[in-house]
Structure 1
Amino acid sequence: MGHYCRICGKHKPNEKFSGKGHKNHICKACCCLPKKDRNRIDYLQEMYGFWEQKNISKKNISRLGTLSEYEDVEVAAIASVLRVVGTRFPLKKKRLSRIFKEMPELIPRLESTGIIQKRSFSGYAEAVEDEANAIYDVWDEYSEMERNKA
């Protein structure tokens, strides 16, 4: 039975792990990576975990504040966006729809950092408008039929 490497995300046999790597769940190949790269991968996984959590806590928000000052541009950008999300929308339930309604300017930032997929909300406003127009059209037809009866 092997182990899971938290850096490369693969299951590998015991022989691929050294003593410290066993404890830290880092394989020998990933141990050879520069510490800066390993930290970057860890921080990105940590932040995507915050996004998936049911609640972004105050401790998570303070951690995101620390990570937003990190030297890597990608890590800092994602941390700053998630910090805004965590402050305004800490609960996961309907988080994206609430962001779209209350802070639509945040959607492009979430897309550019890769937190959400691009175009996941591109047709949302048009779809809502089309649905509303369809409802109004049905209502207009119904009210016209009622006027013709009378």
Structure 2
Amino acid sequence: MVWLIVVLVLIVLIVLWVLRKRWRRNKAIQILLHHSQRLSDQVMDAALTSLKIPVQEPLTSKPITDIWGHGVMAFSYIFPKSFSTIDQHQLADALQKAAEELDIASSDPALPPFVITDYFELEGQQHVDLAFIANEATIEYVRDVNRVA
């Protein structure tokens, strides 16, 4: 009977240890997501300013992690229709220049620090999805998006 109690206590301790590790990992990912979102907003603001596009203050994005999975540093922006005068390639170049000016680098040398993963107009609004190449999950996300496109 004592060995059964010892086994149960060990199982409870192992479960608690696993839950604690998972909680700490999720907390770290949330901190990285928040930091990446602030950097992405800052770079997008600088890029739009360089393209002489008026920006509503403050520029805010929404993480798209709920759709694509945990740990993906990708953010969605919605702009008024007047924004659609800017070509996707112009915006990508402006983002690259803004990232260089702010000294932001990609975690993968083969990719720029910021990648536009989606660029479309819907219901009179321009939608832009931007990935910040900060971790392996985001790199895989960008590769998957490029395979589909």
Q: TM-score, normalization: structure 1?
A: 0.25
Larger radius of gyration: 1
Q: TM-score, normalization: structure 2?
A: 0.25
More helix by share: 1
More strand by share: 2
